[in-house]
Every structure is written in structure tokens, then in C-alpha cells.
Structure 1
Amino acid sequence: MASAKSVTGTVVRRLTRWGTASVLVGGALALVPRTRAFGVQTLMWGAIDAGLAAFTRRQQTVPKKRMLRRILLVNAALDVGYVATGAHLAARTPSFGGRLGAADARGHGLAIVIQGAALFVIDLTAARRL
């Protein structure tokens, strides 16, 4: 079993890398009309992930193992919800009162599925290390 400090460090590094890659790839894809929705959604998730990693890196204390494991497992459960929500959006393509086209709904939904799945892997892997 790893220490809470080493697991937190690993999660922060992985979240930083994932967030940075998401911002870069999402930003590039957002410039292309055909992939704009996917790119914008990816860019936004990446910015939030990178921000959370930066905030966590600045914290002076690390939660105890038990609390950190609980946080990671709750996050993993939320990640499953993100994947389900993204899948629903991609499959059902709701228009939200005409504000969203089917292709954009699919793009946003698929981006949410990918982000949720990646975060699930990061969270669950870290929880298992504890």
C-alpha cells in the first residue's frame, strides 16, 4: 500500500497531464467547425482538471489515507455519472429547445464520456493503491 502523500502526488501529476493535453487537443479541435462541440467540451474539462490539480498542489496538508480513499471512490462514482450523462447526450441528441444541433450534442456527449472515463481510471487506480 502506498502512502496518502505519494498517491496524492501521483493523482496531481496525472490530472495535470490529462488536463493539459485536454486543453491543447480541445483547443485545436474547437477551431475546426466539424469538431467544435467536442473541442470546446474537451477544452473546458481540461481547464477544470488542470485548475483542480494546481489547487491541490498548493495545499499544505494531505488527507489521511482513509479520507483520501473515500474522496477518490466518491469521485469515481461521479465519473460513472459523467459517462452515463455523456452517453445519453450523444445517443439521444437532445436539442435543448433548439439551442443545440444533433451533431453538436453528439460531440459534447462523446467528449464528456471520454473525460469521465479518463477521470474514472485516474480515481479508481489511485484508490486501489491505497
Structure 2
Amino acid sequence: MKNIHTHSKIMKKSLFLFLLIQILFASWSFAQNSTLDLEQINQDRLSLNSNGMFILGGWAITNLAIGGIGMTQTNGRLKYFHQMNAMWNTVNLGIAGFGYYGLHNSSTNISLSETVREFHNFENILLFNAGLDVGYMAIGAYLWERGLRKESDRLVGYGQSMIVQGGFLFTFDVILYLLSKNQSRPLMESLENIQFTGTALSVTIPF
């Protein structure tokens, strides 16, 4: 009986050691594969963000050119419409320039937690900006309506410009948000398979 008990303990220890080795090997293999995937995910993330800054910069330059010429060759409401477009996109160009520069110097060799944080922060910023964009359009509508009541070409022109600029930025931010969510979804879904209870870590492997 004693020999059976001793043999059972040895078998349990051997089984535990075998499972531990298998888990460590699987974890090592997963880490190696995740590193490659993680770098690709970050490369795609930076490419998307860079393309977004490129589009924003292109919109800004176009509005600066058309607005700069338009406000010197038109009168009344249209003049102020072009004027606001030019002033507004001076800011957009600055944002696009600094944003593109920052992304160009970003590394794809970052950890999983840093990658998740980058996605989370970027998407939250886009949602916040989308809310601001709605506010810009609301202010534009108010200026337009007030300009009509006060017979002010400046208020009407500025209001119309803010509606156009806010509408573009809202569309831009929402589309960029949806594209970013599409990129981050596989990463977030993979994290759903990892659970930490405070005393134990469990990994669910879907088949």
C-alpha cells in the first residue's frame, strides 16, 4: 500500500512537471509568434494613422489655397466663407504636420500593453473629436441663423464655413475610428481568452 502511495506521488509529480514544460514551451512559442504579429499590427496602425494625417493635411492645403484666393476675389458672404476656411485649416495643417512627424518617429517594437494603450487612446481621441465636430456644426448653424437675423455677411459666411469644416472633420474622425476599431478587433478578441482572477491566470484556447 505504501509503495502504491509513493508511486502515485511520483506519477503526480512527473505529470505536473510534464504539463509545466508543455505550458512553458507553448508560452514561448506563442510569445515568438505574437511578437511578429504585434509588429505587423503596429505597422498597420501607424500606416493608418499616417494616411489619416496625410488626408487631413491635403484637405488643409486645398482649403488654404482656395480660401486664400477666394477671399481676395469675392465679396459678401462668400468672401467670409473663404476667409474662415483658410483660417480654420491653418490649424488643421499644423495638427496634420505635427501628427505625421510624431508617427514617423514612432516604433513598431512595443509591448502588448503599449499597443493596446495606443489603440485605446487614439480611438478615444477620435470619439472626443467627433463630439467636438458636432459642436462646431452647431455653432456654425447658430452663426448662420444669427447672421441672417442681423443681416451680417460675416456671420453667415463664417457659420457656413464652420458647418462645412465640422462636417468634414466629423466624417474624417468617424471613418478613422471605424478603421482603427477594425484593426484592433483581432487583438482585443485575443485578449478576451486571457482571464486573471487575482490569484490565477487562465488562457482559453479556442478550437
TM range (shorter): 0.7 to 0.9
- What is the CA deviation profile of residues 27-77 of structure 1, one whole-angstrom value per residue up to 9, with x for unaligned ones? 122112232211110001111111110111111338711110001110111
- Please state whether the residue corresponding to 2:106 is helix, strand or coil: coil
What residue number does 1:17 align with? 58
What residue number does 1:92 align with? 146
Matched length: 126
Counterpart-to-counterpart distance in 2, 1:65 and 1:112: 29
Question: Which blocks of at least 5 consecutive residues in structure 2 are unaligned?
Answer: 1-40, 108-116, 181-207
Counterpart-to-counterpart distance in 2, 1:72 and 1:14: 15
What residue number does 1:33 align with? 75
Q: Does 1:61 align with 2:106?
A: yes
Structure 2 counterparts to residues 37-116 of structure 1, below 5 A: 37-59=80-102, 60-61=105-106, 64-93=118-147, 102-116=152-166
Counterpart-to-counterpart distance in 2, 1:58 and 1:129: 21
Structure with greater Cα Rg: 2
Question: Which blocks of at least 5 consecutive residues in structure 1 are unaligned?
Answer: none
Give the RMSD, CA atoms, in angstroms: 2.2
Counterpart-to-counterpart distance in 2, 1:8 and 1:14: 10
Question: Quick one: which amino acid aligns to residue 102 of structure 1?
Answer: S
TM-score (norm 1): 0.87
Q: Does the Cα contact within 8 Å between 1:26 and 1:42 map onto a contact in 2?
A: yes
Counterpart-to-counterpart distance in 2, 1:75 and 1:120: 8
Q: Percent identity?
A: 26
- Please state whether the residue corresponding to 1:64 is helix, strand or coil: helix
Q: Does the Cα contact within 8 Å between 2:148 and 2:156 map onto a contact in 1?
A: no
What residue number does 2:199 align with? none
TM-score (norm 2): 0.56
Higher relative contact order (CA 8 A, sep 6+): 1
